[in-house]
Structure 1
Amino acid sequence: MLREFLHNWNPIVEPVAGPRQSGALPYAIVEGRVVFLLVTSRRTGRWIFPKGSISAGMTAWDSAAKEALEEAGVIGEIGTEPVGTYRNTDKGLLVDIDLYPLRVGEQFDSWDEMDQRLRHWVLLAEARRLLADRSLVRIAELLHRQLTSRRITS
């Protein structure tokens, strides 16, 4: 019981003053259903969404789109408002990561980090099972609710 509580516990905390990162939450609508694109992290092999440091001279959302291209080999329409923010550690420092929705328009057969990562399209139920970070699950659920409440089907 306690283990389950701690596994799902995510206190609301103030943003960290310091470095921020941005990431993409790649999705597509297939036969009226929302699907998400996950990638594995290079260090742990856990399923995540593409993310990284914000590139100099780029907006956070453009940097997120760049990460999606490099890590997952996809391009598309990136949102300019994050769908959610989660906290992670990077080299021992706490970092807040803003995730921007990316409606995938094209997927490439080869991409920069294809030899370092796997990618996998999933429905929300499988995303819940594969994403170890519960914050990522909550953000995916939020985007799913937003998309399905608008009844996006194309």
Structure 2
Amino acid sequence: MNVIDSLLSEARLMFRRPERVQYAALCYRFRKKSAMPEMLLITSRDTGRWVIPKGWPMENRASHEVAGREAWEEAGVKGQVSPDSIGSYRYDKRMSHGLKLSVVVKVYPLVVFDMAKRFPEKGSRRLEWMGFTEAAGNVAEPSLRTLILDYQTRLLATMNSDGKAQPTSAAG
């Protein structure tokens, strides 16, 4: 039976599709009164579940630039996106024809400086600022939940005792 299991395993590997990759922005800002960090979640257009802005690779754009572009298109936010990924998570993307694809999403932190009143996907999603812990509780993917909480820890570690971010923050 081990030989058959081994052959089946090798056959599955041979016919497996290449892994798909998307790039996402973990958008955050500091509250004006408390200077505590909060992050932005948006709803997906198809299921309405809470997600972070993400999209497919774009020709002639670095991965972190794609993440920044998606944040603008999907949530209307502008800011400074780090060129360094803070990690990745997986999810199953259901395509329009019904096929499910396993997608790896590389996440880049983006500190938000401005929010536009008009942007490409305005009206097709809900946007909500919330604390990192609340945001982690609202996303479906366990590995995204972990990424959010780990990044919160990194951000808080960069803050002075007076609650203000130090110049060398974890933003990048």
Displacement of 1:113:
0.6
Shift of 1:83: 1.0
Q: Pairwise mapping of residues 47-66 of structure 1 onto structure 2 (< 5 A)? A: 47-66=50-69
TM-superposed CA distance for 1:130, in Å, is 1.8
Aligned residues: 139
| Contact map agreement 1:83 1:142 (CA 8 A) in 2 | no
Query: Segments of 4+ in structure 1 off by > 6 A?
Result: none
1:24 equivalent in structure 2: 25
- Percentage of pairs with the same residue: 31
Q: Distance in 1 between matches of 2:112 and 2:125?
A: 18
Match of 2:112 in 1: 104
Selected match of 2:142 from 131, 134, 141: 134
Deviates more, 1:30-39 or 1:132-141: 132-141
Aligned alpha-carbon RMSD (Å): 1.5
8 Å contact 2:90–2:141 — kept in the other structure? Answer: no
Give the TM-score taking structure 2 as reference length: 0.76
- Of the three residues 135, 138, 143, the one matched with 2:151 is 143
| Structure-1-length-normalised TM-score | 0.84
Task: Give per-residue Cα distances to partners, 1:37-56, cap 9 Å, x unaligned.
Answer: 00000110000100010111
Larger Rg: 2
